[in-house]
């Protein structure tokens, strides 16, 4: 594990260390690249020369011989370089003169030697019968697999980093308090005089707040999105579709921070003034404002998913309904929508998971104080708001306060993951029914 940790230090060595390292690093890289470029040129030339002398047919193309030389000249120094980086970050060698010598002189020389040896032996081996394509393609194949594995590593990284901090968090705060507590006030953890007590970490108000805002968002997005999808697929002319569909997609392309600004400054104030004129008390950070704007953002998401799903309903169902004398709207309401229902449920679940994970709108337009209420006119806070609130500007990573953010994020990750898996399963099952 520590070895891996050191490997990760490589970039930080390149970017942050004193000028010395950087100065010796870049010229070295340039020399190595020049050497392998020369190797490329020389290798391809030699391949052509040898094939002219012999009667053999040159199977691989000449430039592949060049690439072969390049691979052999670059792989050894890269491996050495990684070892170097690992050694550099060991605490042992920090300031001894001998190690500095090795750093500045011995290692570059070793790198150059390794490159030279790679060049020499690979060029020596070149003859028309050498199957260099196999070597090259083998290496490319390995690179392709490595690239694909990065996505797995990302997921693994998310799970491990969240899990690690969450376990630490549950070492400080009991799990029952986190999941069933009704009181959330992590800020008190800052006060040193409260020995033993480190704030209140009951996350129920956060989850209810998230659900309230999500529910409001769905109340806006599902009817609007679904009805526009129905109109687009069943009624609209091609020209109307061609113009309006991209316009609706703009809603999905607007950055969430813009929605947040709009929610905080325009919609929140509008609802507050509206409430004032009706004699109702509406706070300007109301759940209603954040929810409505979030719903607005999700409209194109719902509509484009439902669009696909309604399109996938077989034409024969429509024809059968029309044949029995049903009008278009009757066909839609009594045949198409019931047939598409599982798919639409899946789409709504995906939209819910999107709404739960949405951050900027709620950070800017919802409140920061945890408030256990179901009243949309009051300010509530959400899981994402608290993650941002707990982590922004905070440097220490062992207090329960910052660790709580990771625990919240883990819950968020698991919930959205489950919603997605269920939604995808529902949609897939539905597709199979009609394929």
Which 8-state DSSP code applies to residue 193? Answer: T
- Among positions 312-331, residues that touch another protein (CB under 8 A) are 327-330
Position 224 contacts another protein (CB under 8 A): yes
Q: Is there binding between residue 114 and another protein (CB under 8 A)?
A: no
Stretch that binds another protein, among 4-12, 31-39, 66-74, 173-181 (CB under 8 A): 4-12
Does 56 engage in binding with another protein (CB under 8 A)?
Answer: no
Q: Which is nearer to another protein, 118 or 300 (CB)?
A: 300
Of 72-80, 172-180, 197-205, 219-227, the window that binds another protein (rule: CB under 8 A) is: 219-227
Measured from the CB atom, is 8 or 41 closer to another protein? 8
Candidates 41, 180, 235, 434: give the one binding another protein (CB under 8 A). Answer: 235
**Closer CB to another protein, 32 or 162, in the complex:** 162
d(CA 404, CA 289): 27
Comparison of 251 and 312: residue with beta carbon closer to another protein = 251
Cβ neighbour number for residue 248 with a 10 Å cutoff:
18
Residue 289: exposed, middle, or buried by beta-carbon count in 10 A (0-12, 13-18, 19+)? buried
| CA 348 to chain CA mean position, Å | 21
The answer to whether 41 contacts another protein (rule: CB under 8 A) is no
The encoded tokens of residue 321 equal: 């309904």
The yes or no reply on residue 387 touching another protein (CB under 8 A) is yes
By CB under 8 A, tell whether 140 contacts another protein. Answer: yes
Q: Which residues of 158-176 are buried (b: 16+ CB within 10 A; e: fewer)?
A: eeeebeebbeebeeebeee
Q: Are 340 and 309 in contact (CB under 8 A)?
A: yes
| Closer of 114 and 363 to another protein (Cβ) | 363
* Cβ-based neighbour number of residue 316 at 10 Å: 9
Q: Is 232 in the site for another protein (CB under 8 A)?
A: yes
- The answer to whether 155 contacts another protein (rule: CB under 8 A) is yes
Dist. CA 215–CA 198, nearest whole Å: 32
Q: Which is nearer to another protein, 148 or 238 (CB)?
A: 148
Q: Does 405 bind another protein (CB under 8 A)?
A: yes
Stretches 124-132, 160-168, 189-197, 370-378: which one binds another protein (CB under 8 A)?
A: 160-168
Give the residue with the Cβ less far from another protein, 115 or 166.
166
Contact call for residue 165 and another protein (CB under 8 A): yes
Do the Cβ atoms of 268 and 362 come closer than 8 Å?
Answer: no
386 binds another protein (CB under 8 A): no
349 binds another protein (CB under 8 A): no
Secondary structure (DSSP) of 96-135: -HHHHHIIIIIHHHHHHHHHHHHHHHHHHH--TT--HHHH
Long-range interactions of 241-248: CB distance < 8 A, separation 24+: 248/299, 248/300, 248/303, 248/304
Exposed / middle / buried, residue 30 (Cβ in 10 Å: 0-12, 13-18, 19+): exposed
* Joined tokens for residue 397: 């990573």
By CB under 8 A, residue 259 contacts another protein: yes
Compute the distance between CA of residue 225 and CA of residue 235 in angstroms, rounded to an integer. Answer: 15
Across 196-212, b (16+ Cβ under 10 Å) vs e yields eebbbbbbbbbbbbbbb
Which residues are CB-contacts of 240 (< 8 A; sequence separation ≥ 6)? none
Contact between 416 and another protein per CB under 8 A? yes
Does 74 bind another protein (CB under 8 A)? Our answer is: no
Among 255, 315, 323, 432, binds another protein (CB under 8 A): 255
Minimum Å gap between C-beta 433 and another protein is: 20
Given the complex with another protein, which of 70 and 360 has the nearer CB atom?
A: 360
Is residue 258 part of the contact set for another protein (CB under 8 A)? yes
From 68-76, 107-115, 181-189, 255-263, give the range in contact with another protein by CB under 8 A: 255-263
Q: Collapsing DSSP states into helix, strand and coil, what is residue 201?
A: strand
Spatial separation of the C-alpha atoms in residues 432 and 207, rounded to whole Å? 35
Applying CB under 8 A, the span of 68-76, 92-100, 133-141, 183-191 interacting with another protein comes to: 133-141
Contact with another protein (CB under 8 A): which of 37, 105, 227, 369? Answer: 227
State in angstroms the smallest separation of the CB of 167 from another protein: 13
Minimum separation from the CB atom of position 67 to another protein (A): 12
Min separation Cβ 239 and another protein, Å: 14
Residue 29 binding another protein, by CB under 8 A: no
User: Which of these ranges, 74-82, 106-114, 115-123, 231-239, lies near another protein under the rule CB under 8 A?
Assistant: 231-239
Asked if 242 and 322 touch (Cβ cutoff 8 Å), the reply is no
Binding status of residue 409 toward another protein by CB under 8 A: yes
């Amino acid at each position: 594990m520590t070895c891996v940790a050191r490997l990760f230090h490589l970039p930080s060595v390149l970017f942050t260390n004193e000028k010395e390292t950087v100065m010796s690093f870049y010229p070295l890289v340039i020399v190595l690249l020049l050497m392998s470029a020369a190797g490329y040129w020389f290798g391809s030339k030699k391949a052509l020369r040898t094939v002219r002398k012999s009667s053999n047919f040159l199977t691989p193309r000449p430039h592949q011989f060049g690439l072969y030389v390049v691979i052999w000249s670059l792989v050894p120094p890269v491996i050495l370089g990684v070892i170097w980086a690992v050694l550099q970050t060991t605490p042992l060698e920090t300031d001894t003169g001998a190690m500095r010598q090795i750093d500045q002189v011995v290692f570059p020389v070793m790198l150059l030697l390794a490159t030279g040896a790679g060049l020499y032996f690979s060029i020596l081996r070149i003859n028309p019968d050498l199957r260099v394509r196999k070597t090259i393609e083998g290496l490319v194949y390995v690179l392709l697999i490595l690239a694909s594995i990065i996505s797995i590593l990302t997921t693994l990284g998310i799970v491990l980093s969240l899990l690690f901090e969450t376990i630490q968090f549950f070492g400080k705060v009991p799990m029952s308090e986190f999941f069933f507590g009704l009181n959330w006030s992590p800020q008190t953890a800052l006060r040193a005089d409260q020995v033993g007590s480190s704030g209140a970490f009951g996350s129920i108000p956060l989850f209810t707040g998230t659900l309230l805002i999500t529910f409001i968002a769905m109340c806006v997005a599902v009817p609007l999105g679904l009805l526009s999808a129905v109109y687009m697929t069943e009624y609209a002319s091609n020209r109307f579709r061609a113009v309006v569909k991209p316009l609706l997609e703009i809603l999905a392309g607007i950055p969430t921070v813009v929605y947040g600004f709009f929610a905080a400054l325009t919609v929140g104030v509008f609802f507050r003034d509206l409430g004032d004129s009706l004699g109702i008390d509406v706070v300007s950070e109301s759940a209603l404002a954040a929810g409505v704007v979030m719903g607005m953002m999700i409209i194109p998401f719902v509509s484009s998913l439902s669009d696909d799903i309604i399109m996938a309903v077989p034409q024969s169902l429509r024809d059968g309904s029309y044949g029995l004398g049903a009008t278009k709207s009757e066909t839609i309401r009594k045949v198409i929508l019931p047939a598409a229902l599982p798919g639409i449920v899946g789409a709504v679940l995906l939209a819910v998971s999107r709404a739960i994970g949405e951050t900027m709108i709620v950070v800017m337009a919802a409140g920061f104080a945890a408030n256990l209420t179901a009243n949309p006119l009051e300010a509530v806070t959400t899981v994402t708001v608290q993650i941002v609130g707990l982590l922004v500007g905070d440097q220490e990573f062992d207090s329960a306060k910052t660790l709580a953010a990771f625990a919240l994020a883990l819950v968020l990750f698991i919930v959205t993951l489950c919603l997605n898996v269920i939604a995808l399963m529902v949609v897939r099952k539905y597709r199979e029914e009609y394929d």
